[in-house]
Amino acid sequence: MPSATDPPALWIAGAGGVGREALDTALAAGVPVAGFLDDRQHGATFRGLPVRRPADLGPADLGPGTRYLVGIADPAVRQRLSALLDGLGAEPFTLVHPRALIAPDTLLGPGCLVMGGAYVSSSVRLGAHSQVHYNATVGHDTVFGERVTVYPGGNVSGAVLLADGATVGSNAVVLQGRRIGAGAFVGAAAVVTRDVAPGEVVAGSPARPLRRA
C-alpha cells in the first residue's frame, strides 16, 4: 500500500510500442506507474495497468505533483498530448533507464525518455519531451530542440543540432557538426554528411532528400 510520502505514480501517455517500452524503463528504474493514457485503446488493460482517456482524468487523478511521460514516437502527437496534460495540471517527468549512461554536464529537459543501453555524452542538452531509444548514442556538445527522437541504434555525433521535432531513424548516423532542421526525418541506416533542411526526409549513404515531410 503506498504511503503518504511515496512519490505520485506516473501516467504514460500512449499504450503502443514506445509506451510499453517506457513502462519497461519505469519498472527498471523503480518508478511506480498508474496506467496508460490512450484515446483509441481506453478501457483495455495492459500488463495489469488500466488504459484511460487523457480527458477523463479528474481531480482525484491529478493531485499535487501528478507526473506524466508521453510514450509516443510521433513528435506532433507528443506536442499535442503534452500541452493537454500540462493544461490539466500534470507535470512532465524525465525517465532514464538505469542501464543508460548520462555523462557529466549534460542536461535533460522535462518529459525526456532515455532507454536502456543509450549513451548521452558530455555537455549535451536534450529539449523537453525528447527521446533517446535503446542502444542509441548522442555525442558531446549536441543540442536537441523539443520533441526530438533518436531511434534504436541511432548514432548522433558531437556538436550536432537537432531542431524541434527532428527524428533520426534506427541505425542512422549523423556526422559531427551537422544541422538537422525542424520536423526533418533521417531514414533508417542513413548517413548524414550534410545539413538537412527543415521538414526534409533523407535516406541512403550519403543521405539524400526524398521529399518534404
- Kindly list the catalytic residues: 140
All three cell numbers of 162, joined, read: 537537432
The β-bridge partners of 132 are 114, 150
Please say whether the beta carbons of 179 and 195 come within 8 A: yes
Q: What is the CA radius of gyration of the chain?
A: 17
- Tell me 73's DSSP state: S
Q: Nearest 5°: CA angle at 35, between 95 and 51?
A: 130
Phi, psi for 103 (deg, rounded to 5): -80, 165
Please say whether the beta carbons of 134 and 151 come within 8 A: no
- d(CA 125, CA 78) in angstroms, rounded, equals 19
- d(CA 121, CA 40) in angstroms, rounded, equals 37
Greatest Cα pair distance, the chain, in angstroms, is 55
* Closest to 115 (Cα-Cα) out of 26, 16, 17: 26
* 127 sits in which H/E element: none
